[in-house]
């Protein structure tokens, strides 16, 4: 068992589950979407992206692309949420649905990354 692959898989799955936790709930109600969970999902997603930088395989490139998409979506959501919580924007139903939608895009990228991880792991043969 490769400890590096365990750490990589851990961060990929943690990023997806944290993002799912933020995404879940009524899209228009800010009180059911924790800003702490959003920021944690962003930090873990960035860590997962950094871990993907060393892989020079084709599937590694796709892993990196999905991570970058998730990072960009989560950065956008975090910036909007922070701006709205500071009072510069109204944190109304429309704004919250935009923030949750951005998180949903990141969640989709996370799901693709998890599927790639499972496919890569299942195609690995012991020597």
pLDDT at 9 over 60: yes
Residue 60: the pLDDT is 87
- 88 vs 49, more confident: 49
Q: What digits encode the pLDDT tens for the residues 102-112?
A: 999 999 999 99
Residue 125: the pLDDT is 64
Average predicted confidence (pLDDT) for the chain? 90
- 54 vs 118, more confident: 118
Q: What digits encode the pLDDT tens for the residues 21-80?
A: 999 988 888 888 999 999 999 999 999 999 988 788 888 899 999 999 999 999 999 999
SS (H, E, C) the chain: CCHHHHHHHHHHHHHHHHHHHHHCCCCCCHHHCCHHHHHHHHHHHHHHHHHHCCCCCHHHHHHHHHHHHHHHHHHHHHHHHHHHHHCCCCCCHHHHHHHHHHHHHHHHHHHHHHHHHHHHHHHCCCC
């Amino acid at each position: 068992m490769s400890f590096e692959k365990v750490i990589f898989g851990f961060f990929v799955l943690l990023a997806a589950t944290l993002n799912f936790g933020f995404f879940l709930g009524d899209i228009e109600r800010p009180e059911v979407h924790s800003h702490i969970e959003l920021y944690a999902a962003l930090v873990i997603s960035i860590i997962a992206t950094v871990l993907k930088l060393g892989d020079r395989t084709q599937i590694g490139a796709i892993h990196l692309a999905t991570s970058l998409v998730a990072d960009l979506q989560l950065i956008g959501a975090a910036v909007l949420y922070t701006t709205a919580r500071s009072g510069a924007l109204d944190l109304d139903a429309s704004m919250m649905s935009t923030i949750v939608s951005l998180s949903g895009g990141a969640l989709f990228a996370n799901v693709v990354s998890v599927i790639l991880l499972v496919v890569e792991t299942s195609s690995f043969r012991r020597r």
